[in-house]
Amino acid sequence: MEYYSNQIRLLVEQLASLPGIGGKTAQRLAFHIIDMPKERVEKLAETILKAKQTIRYCSQCLTLTDQELCPICSNPARDQKTIMVVENPRDMSAYEKTGKYEGVYHVLHGAISPMLGIGPSDIRLKELVHRLEKEVDEVIIATNSSLEGETTAMYISKLIKPTGIKVSRIASGVPVGGDLEYIDEVTLLRALEGRVEL
């Protein structure tokens, strides 16, 4: 990309380093940004920076939020005694879109993967165990049906069993290796409703 001047090259490089954005898209975005009015570019840059500065983990479920407690954890209408364990905030929003789940969540921020050297202490399991000290009726494990997701589900179920709290796993129907975020709402609901006790 030597035919671009330095600043354009830097912008394209920065954009191309984002997930899902290849070289061509990065170039298109870069030229689009350069064509945008200065105020809009400032607004975009400011919004990104502000999001980075203010967004943090919810102190209860660890999803991303700009408050101490996320809107779900702080909603008195939600059933605080049912906790659905998901791998990341995107999976959580997939379940929220169904509009049918009334409990709360716990976001692990990853899954156990011996192959990648990600162990139980690398994901937010300690925080989950801590939450179980309060009154909890059921933990629904909704990790992905990938090898990592299944390994994580097994690990969590073994961890929780001795406490006597009900542990369930969302039903298959979610395709193997499928990321929850790409699965349609009907399939998600079916998986939730057909969950099996472990």
CB atoms within 10 A of CB 36: 13
Residue 56's alpha-carbon distances to 49, 92, 111, 186, in angstroms, are 13, 16, 20, 31
Distance, CA of 171 to CA of 149 (rounded, Å): 13
Which lies closer to Zn ion via its Cβ, residue 58 or residue 108?
58
Distance, CA of 50 to CA of 117 (rounded, Å): 33
Min CB(196)–Zn ion separation in Å: 26
Calculate helix-pair angle for 6-16, 23-35, nearest 10 degrees: 120
Distance, CA of 16 to CA of 88 (rounded, Å): 23
Which lies closer to Zn ion via its Cβ, residue 73 or residue 183?
73
Which lies closer to Zn ion via its Cβ, residue 15 or residue 62?
62
Min CB(153)–Zn ion separation in Å: 21
Min CB(101)–Zn ion separation in Å: 14
Distance, CA of 190 to CA of 126 (rounded, Å): 29
Min CB(182)–Zn ion separation in Å: 23
Distance, CA of 5 to CA of 13 (rounded, Å): 12
119 near 98, Cβ under 8 Å? no
Q: What are the residues binding Zn ion (CB under 5 A)?
A: 58, 60-61, 70, 73
Which lies closer to Zn ion via its Cβ, residue 60 or residue 168?
60
Which lies closer to Zn ion via its Cβ, residue 60 or residue 151?
60
Min CB(105)–Zn ion separation in Å: 7
Distance, CA of 20 to CA of 26 (rounded, Å): 10
Min CB(67)–Zn ion separation in Å: 9
Token pair, residue 18, equals 């984002």
Which lies closer to Zn ion via its Cβ, residue 90 or residue 190?
90
